[in-house]
């Protein structure tokens, strides 16, 4: 170190590099912690276990097994007794099953998650609700009572409530199962879109799948949508 | 910039002596060691002593016990854990929310609602961080079993893939809309859940190739780094902040990971069975 300037510059560079190393290490704290675990370990068995003799442990085990059996039975009782339908809205797939196993599985169409904006604060979100729903009704040859958004989507004037222009025949297929709040499981004219999220919230099934689902599910049967 | 560097270099040129180099290297080494102690050893040491005190084990080595008793102890622990998982599942069945069970024993990620298993995905790979790996089985119940609510979450995909569509102005525009449905963009799936017991659960797609946009992936990675950085900052500011995050990483097929993430409500409950 020949002069003061050189010395100051050297100190500055050294300190700056050291600070940079510390900051870099801070960014990599997670790796440091992982590495630090080399130096630590936990005691293998807690005392309250060790103090028990084999007979006590056997008794403990027996009681635990008994409670496990009871819990498993309670969980099993939560399964519906009759057939039930599971709908996966992300993959647009359905499974109709009962306690014994799968009755039928295939593709369906669920809500598109399109937010239709008609201006003036009028908006509709086309999503299929998630949760458990009981079947509230079964309809053969359903007629679609078109809601307001169906006219907005087609850029047509919205007719008054109960106007015959709102009724459309054949669009919903041969059967429909009602889930409440206007949501249905029904058929479709757009078979090519099955497997895609294209509906306005209802669940569309292919003709044959719909027939099997309709025949197996009764009013009160459960539909699980996720 | 170049001029400044040249100037600085010329100024410290005189320090390139053996003594200077030794001082420089020693200072850097000390800085790294100090950082290692500060950001590695101390937080981990705090966590280990906290857990050890909490469970107050009387440090008895399994090696000192007869083999039969060790086996019996293992069985008791295993069944007690299974019982607590079942109890949690029953507890969750009373809620209206979909919950996630990660069954490490059978390598399954299971969605359930009201006690009914809705969806199962086979886990192809499981990774634990060192803290979780070293944690003895009897201590894992405090991290697993649950049910534990998610405190914070990060994801590379949206929970609700909303597509905004303006209503058509006329019938021509409306009929053009009918031709092709609007489908949401399918990005790659990486999810991180921080449970309120400081267990981080990462659900990653098992596919290595990226199918979606690289930007979404980069955004997630940036948020992921920020998440751990924020945790470390919190550690400096607050002494009561958790000093160590246990991390469990599972890998499942992309589309199944997407289904799981989208099915779960915001702040879901997660159960882990080991």
Can you list the domains of chain A with their CATH numbers? 2-78 (no CATH), 84-225 (2.40.440.10)
Question: Considering only alpha carbons, which residue of chain A is nearest residue B16?
Answer: A1
| Omega of the bond leading into A18 within 30 degrees of 0 (cis) | no
Residue A46 clears pLDDT 80, i.e. is over it: no
Q: Tell me which of B9, B26, B45, B57 to substitute to probe the interface with A (most A C-beta atoms closer than 10 Å).
A: B57
Order of strands, sheet of A131-134, starting from the edge strand that comes earlier in the sequence: A131-134, A222-225, A84-88, A93-98, A101-109, A203-205, A183-186, A175-180, A137-140
Task: Give me the CATH number covering residue B168.
Answer: 2.40.440.10
Total number of domains constituting chain B:
1
Cα–Cα distance between A91 and B257 in angstroms, integer?
11
pLDDT at A215: 97
Q: Tell me whether A44 touches chain B (CB under 8 Å).
A: yes
Taking an 8 Å cut-off on Cβ atoms, the answer to whether B118 and A68 are in contact is no
Q: Tell me whether A196 touches chain B (CB under 8 Å).
A: yes
Taking an 8 Å cut-off on Cβ atoms, the answer to whether A2 and B14 are in contact is yes
Question: Considering only alpha carbons, which residue of chain B is nearest residue A54?
Answer: B69
Cα–Cα distance between B254 and B99 in angstroms, integer?
19
Burial degree of B268 (CB within 10 A; 0-12, 13-18, 19+):
buried
Collect all residues with Cβ–Cβ distance below 8 Å to A171 and sequence separation of at least 6.
A144, A188, A189
Residue B22 falls within a domain, yes or no? no
* Contacting residues of B for A101, CB less than 8 Å apart: none
Residue B39 falls within a domain, yes or no? no
From residue A184, give the alpha-carbon distance in Å to each of A1, A71, A181, B172.
85, 35, 9, 29
* Contacting residues of B for A78, CB less than 8 Å apart: 93, 114-116
| Number of Cβ pairs < 8 A linking chain A and chain B | 274
Report phi then psi at B15, rounded to 5: -90, -5
Taking an 8 Å cut-off on Cβ atoms, the answer to whether B259 and A91 are in contact is yes
Residue B247 falls within a domain, yes or no? yes
For every one of its 274 residues, what pLDDT tens digit does chain B have, with 9 covering 90 and above? 667 777 766 666 666 788 888 998 999 999 999 999 999 999 999 888 888 777 655 555 555 677 788 788 888 888 988 999 999 999 999 999 999 999 999 999 999 999 999 999 999 999 999 998 888 777 777 666 678 899 999 999 999 989 888 888 888 877 776 666 777 778 999 999 999 888 999 999 999 999 888 999 999 999 999 999 999 888 888 878 888 999 999 999 999 999 999 999 999 999 998 8
Token pair of B164, please? Answer: 């905004």
Taking an 8 Å cut-off on Cβ atoms, the answer to whether B263 and A36 are in contact is no
Q: Tell me which of A31, A38, A49, A123 to substitute to probe the interface with B (most B C-beta atoms closer than 10 Å).
A: A49
Question: Considering only alpha carbons, which residue of chain A is nearest residue B20?
Answer: A1
Residue B113 falls within a domain, yes or no? yes
pLDDT at A1: 46
Token pair of B175, please? Answer: 């009929």
* Contacting residues of B for A88, CB less than 8 Å apart: 118-119, 259, 263
Residue B122 falls within a domain, yes or no? yes
Question: Considering only alpha carbons, which residue of chain A is nearest residue B170?
Answer: A155
- The per-residue pLDDT for range A195-224, each reduced to its tens digit, is 999 999 999 999 999 999 999 999 999 999
Select from A17, A28, A113 the Cβ nearest to the Cβ of B28. A17
Identify which has the larger pLDDT, A8 or A167.
A167
From residue A170, give the alpha-carbon distance in Å to each of A188, A189, B206.
9, 8, 44
pLDDT at B121: 97
Residue A45 clears pLDDT 70, i.e. is over it: no
What's the whole-number mean pLDDT along residues A146-153? 93
Torsion of CA B227, B233, B238, B243, to 10 degrees: 60
Cα–Cα distance between B212 and B222 in angstroms, integer?
17
What's the whole-number mean pLDDT along residues A55-66? 92
Token pair of B24, please? Answer: 């420089």
Closest Cα of chain A to B201: distance in Å? 15
Residue B215 falls within a domain, yes or no? yes
Residue B36 falls within a domain, yes or no? no
DSSP H helical ranges for chain A: 4-27, 29-36, 47-50, 54-76, 148-153, 207-216
Closest Cα of chain A to B215: distance in Å? 22
Residue B46 falls within a domain, yes or no? no
* Contacting residues of B for A204, CB less than 8 Å apart: none
Q: Tell me which of A16, A45, A82, A117 to substitute to probe the interface with B (most B C-beta atoms closer than 10 Å).
A: A45
Cα–Cα distance between A168 and B93 in angstroms, integer?
40
Q: Tell me which of A31, A35, A43 to substitute to probe the interface with B (most B C-beta atoms closer than 10 Å).
A: A43
Token pair of B59, please? Answer: 């440090």
Q: Which of residues 143-182 of A touch B (CB under 8 A)?
A: 152-156
The boundaries of the domain holding residue B215 are: 59-273
Residue A136 clears pLDDT 60, i.e. is over it: yes
CA A83, B112, B139: angle at the middle one, nearest 5? 145
């Amino acid at each position: 170190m020949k002069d003061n300037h050189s010395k100051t510059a050297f100190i500055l560079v050294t300190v700056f590099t050291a600070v940079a190393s510390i900051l870099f290490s801070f960014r990599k704290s997670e790796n440091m912690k992982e590495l630090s675990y080399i130096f630590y370990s936990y005691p293998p068995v807690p005392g309250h276990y060790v103090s028990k003799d084999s007979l006590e442990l056997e008794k403990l085990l027996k009681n635990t097994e008994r409670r496990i059996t009871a819990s498993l039975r309670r969980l099993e009782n939560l399964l519906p007794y009759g057939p039930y339908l599971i709908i996966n809205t992300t993959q647009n797939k359905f499974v109709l099953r009962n306690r014994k196993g799968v009755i039928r599985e295939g593709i369906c169409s669920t809500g598109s998650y399109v937010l239709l904006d008609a201006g003036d604060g009028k908006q509709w979100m086309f999503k299929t609700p998630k949760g458990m729903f009981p079947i509230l009704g079964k309809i053969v040859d359903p007629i679609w009572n078109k809601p307001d958004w169906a006219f907005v989507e087609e850029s047509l004037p919205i007719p008054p409530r109960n106007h015959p222009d709102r009724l459309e025949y054949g669009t919903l297929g041969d059967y429909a199962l009602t889930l409440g709040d206007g949501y249905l499981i029904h058929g479709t004219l757009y078979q090519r879109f099955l497997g895609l999220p294209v509906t306005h919230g209802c669940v569309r099934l292919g003709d044959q799948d719909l027939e099997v689902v309709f025949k197996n599910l009764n009013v009160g049967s459960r539909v699980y949508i996720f | 910039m170049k001029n400044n560097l040249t100037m600085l270099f010329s100024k410290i040129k005189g320090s390139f002596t053996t003594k200077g180099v030794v001082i420089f290297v020693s200072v850097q080494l000390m800085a790294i060691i100090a950082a290692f102690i500060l950001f590695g050893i101390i937080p981990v040491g705090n966590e280990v002593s906290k857990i050890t005190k909490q469970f107050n084990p009387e440090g008895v080595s399994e090696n000192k016990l007869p083999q039969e008793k060790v086996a019996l102890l293992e069985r008791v622990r295993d069944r007690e854990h299974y019982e607590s998982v079942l109890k949690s599942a029953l507890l969750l069945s009373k809620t209206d929310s979909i919950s996630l069970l990660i069954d490490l024993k059978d390598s399954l990620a299971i969605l359930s609602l009201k006690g009914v298993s809705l969806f199962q995905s086979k886990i192809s790979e499981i990774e634990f961080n060192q803290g979780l790996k070293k944690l003895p089985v009897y201590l894992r119940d405090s991290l697993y079993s649950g049910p534990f609510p998610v405190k914070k979450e990060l994801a590379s995909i949206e929970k609700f893939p909303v597509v905004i569509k303006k209503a058509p102005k006329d019938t021509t525009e409306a009929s053009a809309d009918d031709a092709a449905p609007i489908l949401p963009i399918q990005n790659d799936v990486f999810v991180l859940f921080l449970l309120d017991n400081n267990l981080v659960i990462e659900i990653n797609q098992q596919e290595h190739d990226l199918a979606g946009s690289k930007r979404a992936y980069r955004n997630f990675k940036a948020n992921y780094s920020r998440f751990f950085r924020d945790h470390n900052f919190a550690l400096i500011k607050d002494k009561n902040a958790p000093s160590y995050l246990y991390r469990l990483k599972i890998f499942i097929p992309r589309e199944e990971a997407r289904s799981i993430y989208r099915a779960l409500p915001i702040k879901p409950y997660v159960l882990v069975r080991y």
